[in-house]
Amino acid sequence: MSILELKSVTRNFGGLAAVDGVTTSFEKGKVVGLIGPNGAGKTTLVNLITGVVAPSSGEILFNGKPITGIKPYNAAHLGIARTFQIVQPFSEMNAVSNVAAAILFSRPGYTPASSYQAALPIIERVGLGDHAEKFASDLTLAMRKRLELAKAIAMNPKIVFLDEVNAGLNSAEIDQASRLIQELADEGITIVLIEHLMKVVMSICSRIIVLQQGRLIADGAPEEISHDPAVIEAYLGKKYMNKRQQDNVG
């Protein structure tokens, strides 16, 4: 059974359908790419799933149970986590306290003291152990991206939506993030990667979903998606295909 199912999910803003009848599902422990042009509806779709906004119509199921229109804090308690394209740490708190706050918010039974202790190994895992006591405002962009990921991991999630988690990172930092993403999937966490770096998407995703103008236009394996005429026209472009062919020849 799929961990998450969307059935004809639509969200209208005035006369505009930001998400238009999307039907798809996500399986446990898979890394799924969610791609499309700017304004395609990717972040809006995540907002619908995580309860930031409610669908105009359609149904969302989590572990087979309806969660359509759920509140964000209820989504967090169920194990639905996300990062944001523009990182949003608590700037006047140190790194470990940011992660502790995520634990307190999403996992009942923790105290400020116990959440702080539980946050320490998570900080270590994302490579911020030497910066645990630094204010979030003093961290580099790459470090704040890692902190955003740590906050998502801290929620003990079953599914995580990573929104542009690699944006602004160098090649070594991207490789490190990709390895951690794969580790999380191997532990049974479903990862949905909203990403513009096609090299990353093609290398770590077992499946790719493509949106255009709020509609789902393709859903399949990376090799299949990379040769889909509709995807090439809407998003990848001929330059991408030509470069890929040259790389394969080389």
pLDDT tens digit string along 12-45? 998 899 999 999 999 999 999 999 999 999 999 9
Q: Is 202 a domain residue?
A: no
Residue type, 32: V
Q: Is 60 a domain residue?
A: yes
What is the predicted pLDDT for the residue at 249?
46
Q: Which residue range forms the structural domain that includes residue 106?
A: 4-40+50-192
Q: Is 126 a domain residue?
A: yes
Query: Which residues make beta-bridge pairs with 4?
Result: 26, 62
Q: Is 182 a domain residue?
A: yes
What is the predicted pLDDT for the residue at 203?
92
What is the predicted pLDDT for the residue at 238?
60
What is the predicted pLDDT for the residue at 236?
78
CATH code of residue 12: 3.40.50.300
pLDDT tens digit string along 74-111? 999 999 999 988 888 998 999 999 999 999 988 889 99
Q: Is 82 a domain residue?
A: yes
Give the C-alpha separation, 137 to 120, whole Å.
Answer: 19
Q: Is 101 a domain residue?
A: yes
- State how many domains the chain has: 1
What is the predicted pLDDT for the residue at 208?
97
Q: Is 20 a domain residue?
A: yes
What is the predicted pLDDT for the residue at 84?
86
CB distance 49 to 244 below 8 Å: no
What is the predicted pLDDT for the residue at 210?
96
Q: Is 112 a domain residue?
A: yes
| Ranges of residues in the chain whose predicted pLDDT is under 50 | 249
What is the predicted pLDDT for the residue at 17?
94
CB distance 25 to 4 below 8 Å: yes
| pTM of the entire predicted model | 0.90
